[in-house]
Amino acid sequence: MPKIVSVMRVRGVPIRVDYEGAYIELTFGSEGYRPTEVINVWDYEQDKARIPFTRQAVRAEVVEWMKDQDEEWPEWLEGYLTNR
């Protein structure tokens, strides 16, 4: 199965993003693969992902997730880095 791998930077910290079709896996503070969080993008009613299989769609989903985290838990990045 194809896989999308990307590295995003937030406040200078790398966040590795891996996606194969159901979950976006996030690795904090490293470009290596060791995910500690997932974003579920699977639509169970439709039995398919709710985002297209493109790097742009995956990165956009992660950006939206980060915005939600900023609102709900402003220290989210530090928390994930501490708990990795």
Amino acid at 41: V
* Distance, CA of 12 to CA of 32 (rounded, Å): 16
Q: What is the pLDDT of residue 1?
A: 74
Helix (DSSP H) and strand (DSSP E) numbers for the chain: 2, 6
pLDDT at 84 over 90: no
pLDDT tens-digit series, residues 32-76: 999 999 999 999 999 999 999 999 999 999 999 999 999 999 999
Number of domains comprising the chain: 1
- Tell me the residue range of the domain where 21 lies: 4-82
Q: Which residues contact 67 (CB under 8 A, 6 or more apart)?
A: none
Could you tell me the end-to-end alpha-carbon distance of the chain, in angstroms, rounded to an integer? 27
**pTM of the shown model:** 0.95
Q: Which residues contact 8 (CB under 8 A, 6 or more apart)?
A: 14, 15, 17, 59, 62
